[in-house]
Amino acid sequence: EVYTAAYTQLSFWQFYSESAYFRETNYNPELFVTFPVSHLYKNISLKALRVSLAHQSNGRGGAEERSWNYLHASMFFQYKTLFTELKVWQRFKDSTDYNPELIDYIGYGHIKFILPYKQHAISLLFRNNFDGKSATKINYTYPLFGKDDLFLYVKYFNGYGESLIDYNHNINKIGIGFSISR
């Protein structure tokens, strides 16, 4: 088993806008334990199980505050060069529930497929709450300047829950940027 602390920050910057500010930033610290597994069943390999305690917030106050605390569990599979993650989560109730209907829009889990090919990587994420609200995200990454810590990042998103501020709005957009990690 491997114990890890992680921090993810997702910032939405619209460089074409007159404002120099980020439109939205989501902060996501988490603690998780990963259990490596080596189990093969009909060419599908279960690679790992992960359990995590996490918080996600946009760091704003007042009416624009969005945050939640949750526990999630993931199973990671591999079939040839295709990797799959099945992830489910459960929200914790707290006294400062800024967005009680968040789960109504993002559901309780997702399935994600990752296909690396040479230096390219494509991932597809599907989420559905089975009440007409869903999300599809397609990511493409490619290393820039031959480095392994800077990537061209292209994203297509359609659905609910892309960011905390817009979790209850149906978003359809394409984004181009960079990433320091895949």
As a whole number of Å, the end-to-end CA separation of the chain is 22
Distance between CA atoms of residues 153 and 141, nearest Å:
5
Distance between CA atoms of residues 172 and 159, nearest Å:
7
To the query of whether residue 179 is one of the catalytic residues in this protein, the response is no
From 38, 57, 74, 120, the catalytic residue: 57
To the query of whether residue 120 is one of the catalytic residues in this protein, the response is no
β-pair type (120-128, 134-143):
antiparallel
Query: What are the residues whose beta carbons fall under 8 Å from the beta carbon of 81, sequence distance 6 or more?
Result: 115, 116, 117
From 11, 17, 39, 55, the catalytic residue: 55
Which active-site residues does the annotation give? 55, 57
